[in-house]
Amino acid sequence: MLYDKDIREPLFDFLEAYYGKVRILEEKQMGRSRADIVMVLPSALVGIEIKSDADTYARLTRQVKDYDQYFDYNYVAAGVSHAMHIEEHVPEWWGIITVEQVDGEADFYILRKPKENPKVNRKKQLGLLWRPELAHIQELNHLPRYRQRSKQFVTEKILLGVPEESLRRQISQELFERDYTRIAETIMEYKRGRR
């Protein structure tokens, strides 16, 4: 039986080997759920829900709704105990990675590749960014700064002023560049008007 802790780290290695340039963010709040993994690709965000052999499907319906609002693509990484029935519990555009134990190690197999998520909400996705990151997107696209306006107001202006494909790449780039060791400093610089 594989638990979440047995799957997580080897899954990161598998994803990096499969996709190449990625950044992995863990336990990201999205709506009423928490994404186990957010995989940042150069022009897309991928949500990944881990369903270990010890997990049930009790919260999965709500989680699927939340993941579908925030990510361009989604996967469920399912333990072998779920392999036969997981397709019944996620939409057809979700990818499925199965994981089983082979010689004491987690072994991964892509049962189904993900398709582009038709329900992604770019506004919700922009909500994952910090205010200084939104300000950088405004600067890149020569939009007014709107320093005294709310994050929601700025988000609306970005959605109106930046083409979809450019915005996808820019959101990914901001998350690639995010430095969690400088979070307080970055936000203080923004508030002081240096960014």
Question: Among residues 79, 112, 145, which one ends one of the domains?
Answer: 112
Q: Please check whether residues 105 and 188 belong to one and the same domain.
A: no
9 and 94 housed in the same domain: yes
- For residue range 39-55, list pLDDT tens digits in order: 999 999 999 999 887 77
Asked if 105 and 173 sit in the same domain, the reply is no
Question: pLDDT value at position 186?
Answer: 75
106 with 127, same domain: the answer is no
Same-domain check for residues 10 and 51: yes
Q: Is the CB of residue 110 less than 8 Å from the CB of residue 96?
A: yes
User: Is 47 part of any domain?
Assistant: yes
pLDDT at 4 over 80: no
For residues 78 and 157, membership in a common domain is answered with no
Contact 64, 88 (CB under 8 A): no
**SS (HEC) of the chain:** CCCHHHHHHHHHHHHHHHHCCCEEEEEEEECCEEEEEEEEECCEEEEEEEECCCCCCCCHHHHHHHHHHHCCEEEEEEEHHHCCCHHHCCCCCCEEEEEEEECCEEEEEEEECCCCCCCCCHHHHHCCCCHHHHHHHHHHCCCCCCCCCCHHHHHHHHHHHCCHHHHHHHHHHHHHHCCHHHHHHHHHHHHHCCC
Judge if 146 and 96 occupy the same domain. Answer: no
Residue 108, in any domain of the structure: yes
93 and 133 housed in the same domain: no
Same domain, 144 and 185: yes
Domain boundary among 55, 81, 112: 112
pTM of the model: 0.90
Q: What is the predicted pLDDT for the residue at 148? A: 86
Q: Is the pLDDT of residue 80 over 90?
A: no
Rounded CA separation 113/119 (Å): 17
Q: Would 141 be classed as within a structural domain?
A: yes
174, 103: one domain: no
117 within domain boundaries = no
Q: What is the pLDDT of residues 84-99, one digit of tens each?
A: 789 989 999 999 999 9
Last residue in a domain, options 91, 112, 133: 112
- Do 129 and 107 lie in one domain? The reply is no
Residue 35 to residue 48: CA distance in whole angstroms: 7
- Same domain? For 30 and 96 the reply is yes
Cα atoms in the Cβ-side hemisphere of radius 13 Å centred on 131: 21
Can you give the pLDDT at residue 150?
93
Which residue range(s) make up the domain with 9?
4-112
Q: What is the mean pLDDT of residues 55-77?
A: 92
Q: How many domains does the chain have?
A: 2
Residues above pLDDT 90, as percent of the chain? 68
The whole-number pLDDT of residue 194 equals: 55
Percent of residues, the chain, with pLDDT higher than 70? 98
